[in-house]
A and B are shown apart, each in its own frame.
Chain A
């Protein structure tokens, strides 16, 4: 029974994606119509500066946001796992986890209003654009990194850190030589998660972005409102292959 449902679920998840991959090679102008084999939509993608610009911008924002998210989220997770019961811990924990569940429109609107208020009060950040999108994505990503890091630290226990402290290591030394190497895999996984979240976001980028900063998902969303395109199918296949490659390498390296 469970295997039948698993198979059914996989068909549901894969059917639209697999069809996109197949029809990426169709010569027809209308997507999801077979018009003979062709590479033309990959060539069209290679010759589409708007799409490439948006993709480069998105990759840059995702890399920056993920890096910031690892720094902030790593600190959040470490504090939650290792600082015991400090004053305000309940509020700290609730705020650290809040971005995981808050509806995107609420997060997007509230961050935009914060940036507007900050600009009025201090002159920073100047207008909305790449920086504000990056901060919004980092705030979401940090919540995910914090969960991964906290779970890893809780699973490891404190034995090694306590041993180092007993042998006279200073707290900063323990953090640098024991804790950081132990949570490095979680930080890497968290970076990847934050990177993917940023690359897949429409709502936060629409609220906190400006006219000069159109990310790839925002561009694709405005195109999809007009209907799918064969170029989108070609893009989907490329992304699928990259993800499959990265995923397979990650799974093989685990062992």
Chain B
């Protein structure tokens, strides 16, 4: 009975929405509420898919999104490894507190954190005023609404998604092979490269994908910190839905994004089940 209820929950709130979005992707825009007609209620052809592929607009957004997600996930994992190992070098009693200090900044919510980055990086922001007061620059550096600001914001938003699972995996690992390697004279980095890294590769892969997949559709961080001309998949879907009110096109773009992410999603689920 509980299993039936749980299956019903998944059918209603996870499976059904995905089927509906697939259906609306083949609908036709229409004046009214909701602003589309389902394919069998109209003779007008669906143009969403040809619109998506016609010019490089959406394809470019998709490629930029994947690139941004790749960079974000790689940086998150690269930073999480030494951070997690650093926490594990502390005495056991202090470790939960160190993890707490790492995740506490996330408690204020990511909108406020992104607001802080704006306050630091904009032309009249703290960093520019400090640099000008020190006489290092004369005119403010245009740091906000640029790729470095976007990367800082993405890293700041997604780091715990890589740090926490990687920390859990590294905390549970068997230390004996590393100690044996060190006893036999391997340098610390050699121990990491030849023992620690291969033993935690699956966890690192899962952490990478746990950042990569949602980051590919990220909307809020690029909207607040990114360059205005850098159109990303998440922003394209948002704009088609909220500004153009072209629901079929937004749905088709969502299906396209999901299609690209299907392989990483399946790989992640496989790594998680191991």
Contact = CB atoms under 8 A, between A and B. Distances in A.
Nearest to A117: B20
A93 B273 contact: yes
Contacts of A7: 86
A20 B214 contact: no
B237 to A, nearest CB: 5
A-side interface size class:
35 or more
Contacts of B177: none
Interface in A207-255: 207, 217, 220-221, 224-225, 227-228, 232-233, 235-236, 239-240, 242-244, 247-248, 251, 254
Interface string B194-229: 000000000000000110011011111001100000
Interface residues of B, number: 85
A224 B5 CA distance: 41
A187 interface: no
A196 interface: yes
Nearest to B114: A224
Of listed A96, A236, A254, residue having the most chain B CB within 10 A: A236
Interface string B51-69: 0000000000000000000
Contacts of B184: none
Contacts of A98: 14, 265
Contact of A17 (B98, B105, B261): B105
B51 to A, nearest CB: 17
Interface string B222-254: 011000000001100110011000010011001
Contact of A113 (B21, B105, B109, B213): B21
Contacts of B34: 116, 120
Contacts of B180: none
A253 B2 CA distance: 32
Interface in B63-121: 79, 82-83, 85-87, 89, 96-98, 100-102, 104-105, 107-120
Contacts of A120: 34
Given A17-B105, A109-B251, A200-B110, A104 B10 contact: no
A106 B156 contact: no
A95 interface: yes
Interface stretch (B42-50, B122-130, B135-143): B122-130
Given A227-B119, A228-B116, 19 more contacts: A9-B79, A20-B119, A75-B6, A76-B6, A88-B7, A103-B217, A105-B238, A106-B21, A106-B254, A107-B17, A109-B237, A114-B17, A116-B34, A203-B219, A220-B112, A224-B112, A236-B108, A247-B100, A247-B107
Interface of B: 2-3, 5-7, 9-10, 13-18, 20-21, 24, 34, 79, 82-83, 85-87, 89, 96-98, 100-102, 104-105, 107-120, 122, 124-126, 129, 155-156, 159, 188-189, 209-210, 213-214, 216-220, 223-224, 233-234, 237-238, 241-242, 247, 250-251, 254, 257-258, 261, 265, 268-269, 272-273
